[in-house]
Structures are given as C-alpha cells and as structure tokens.
C-alpha cells in the first residue's frame, strides 16, 4: 500500500494531539510557518491539513490570529473521502472480533454481492477509539474472497488488532479495490448491536452500508455498520469538480 500523502499524515497527527488533550478547546495550534519548519513540509501541505481539520470541526481559524482547537465533544471524528481513508481507520482505532469468519446462507446478502448461490462468509466485530466502542460492523464476503483469509488469526473470535478487513483482503486480491458504494440510513440497535456498543436495544443508530468493488467491477465485500451517534461524527467534504 502506498504511504498516505503528507497532508493526511500531518492532519491525523494534529487530530490525535487534540484528542489526547495536548491542545485543549480554544488553544492556539502552531502556525503554518512553525509546522513547515518543524516537519519540513511545504506551506501548501500544511494549509491542506488545516483545511481538512476546519471542515471536520476539529479546529477553527481566526483571521489574523491563528488556528485554534475546537471542542469536538469527545466523539470519534473522521474525514472520509477515499478508499485510503477507510483503510486508515486502523491508524487510531482497534478492532475486536465478536464472531469470527464463518460460512452461512443469506439470500439477501448473496444477492447484493451478485453471487450465483446463497452462501457467504461473515465476520462481526466492533471498533473502539481510546477504549470506547463506537461502531458494530458485520462484514460479508464472497466465498472466493473469503478463502484467501479463511485461516487469518485476525478474523477469529476474540481477536483484537488494528487492522481493517479491506486492509487484510487487498494483498490477496489479484485486482485492487477501487470503489465503495455507500448508503446511510437511521436504524434501531438490535440486541447484538446494543451489546457491542453498550447502549440500550432500540437506540437510534447511524447505519452505513458499503459495497466494495474491485477494478473489474466485482463486489468483494459488503459491510454493514451501526455507529453510535454519541461517540461518532461522520463528515464528508464536497469539492467542486474541474
């Protein structure tokens, strides 16, 4: 996997420092010039990192005075705009497998994965930030894709690590993952989700479905995630094309 762009690395570092309390609400961050000198980066790279943090609500800018940390309410907040951003969830969260990879029959999931029969492989896990669970996810894989990670210790019940499923899969795929078709709805937490993220059954959740496809247009993974709104903020920056 190619290293993340320099602006993303700086952005993530500053975000983590704010989350850890190094820069509390209302504290001024280093200036662009100070960050350029400290990290050996271009001014444009530093500016891009700040732009993303402003869009996320992690910092705010006061013209003529500087950039200041903003109180994000203790939620896990991520800027997601690419497949690489999704893979980088492993940078600052951990994955705890609740039900290891197993074979099952699911007509609806098989249809969404465009399979010829109804057999899929499924793994369920939750993801935590700073020890706090913020999402319960069920990932479904076509049998041919699941075969490449069937013996993976990272996908066994009880496993804890910093990986992502797509990060585990991609080295074994002949064709890279290039697209994630996403839908976002609101859903009530069922008993399994409620137990995973420590909330009451029936609690409103942010449901995010992602169907990952490779460069040949073949679906390779369907993930269904239920995010706890109190612990997670989802932000996307939209830019004008051209």
pLDDT tens, position by position, 203-239: 999 999 999 999 999 999 999 999 998 887 776 666 6
Task: Specify the pLDDT at position 110.
Answer: 95
Q: Which domains does the chain have, with CATH numbers?
A: 6-69 (1.10.10.10), 76-235 (3.40.1410.10)
Which stretches of the chain are DSSP H helices? Answer: 6-19, 32-39, 43-56, 83-87, 107-112, 143-146, 165-169, 191-197
Q: 96-114 pLDDT, tens per residue?
A: 999 999 999 999 999 999 9
How many other CB atoms sit within 10 Å of the CB of residue 112?
16
Q: For the chain, which ranges sit under pLDDT 70?
A: 1-2, 71-91, 235-239, 241-242
Q: Kindly state the tokens that stand for 77.
A: 């907040």
Task: Specify the pLDDT at position 58.
Answer: 81
Its sign, for the CA torsion 52, 58, 60, 65, is: negative
For the entire predicted model, the pTM comes to: 0.67
Task: Specify the pLDDT at position 157.
Answer: 97
The chain-wide mean pLDDT, for the chain, equals 87
Strand 76-79, strand 232-235: pairing: parallel
């Amino acid at each position: 996997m190619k290293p993340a762009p320099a602006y993303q690395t700086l952005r993530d570092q500053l975000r983590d420092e704010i989350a850890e309390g190094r820069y509390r609400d209302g504290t001024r961050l280093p200036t662009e010039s100070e960050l350029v000198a400290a990290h050996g980066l271009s001014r444009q790279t530093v500016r891009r990192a700040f732009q993303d943090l402003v869009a996320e609500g992690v910092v705010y800018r006061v013209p003529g005075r500087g950039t200041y940390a903003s109180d994000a309410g203790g939620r896990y907040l991520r800027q997601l705009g690419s497949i690489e951003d999704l893979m980088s969830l492993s940078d600052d969260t951990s994955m705890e497998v609740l039900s290891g990879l197993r074979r099952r029959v699911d007509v609806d999931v098989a249809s969404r994965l465009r399979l010829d029969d109804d057999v899929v492989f499924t793994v369920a896990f939750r993801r935590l930030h700073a020890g706090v669970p913020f999402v319960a996810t069920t990932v479904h894989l076509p049998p041919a894709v699941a075969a490449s990670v069937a013996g993976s210790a990272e996908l066994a019940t009880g496993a804890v690590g910093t990986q992502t499923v797509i990060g585990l899969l991609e080295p074994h795929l002949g064709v890279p993952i290039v697209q994630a078709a996403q839908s976002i709805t609101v859903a009530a937490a069922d008993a399994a989700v409620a137990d995973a993220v420590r909330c009451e059954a029936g609690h409103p959740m942010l449901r995010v479905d992602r169907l990952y496809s490779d460069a040949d247009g073949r679906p390779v993974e369907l993930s269904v995630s239920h995010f706890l709104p109190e612990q997670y903020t989802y932000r996307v920056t939209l830019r004008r094309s051209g």
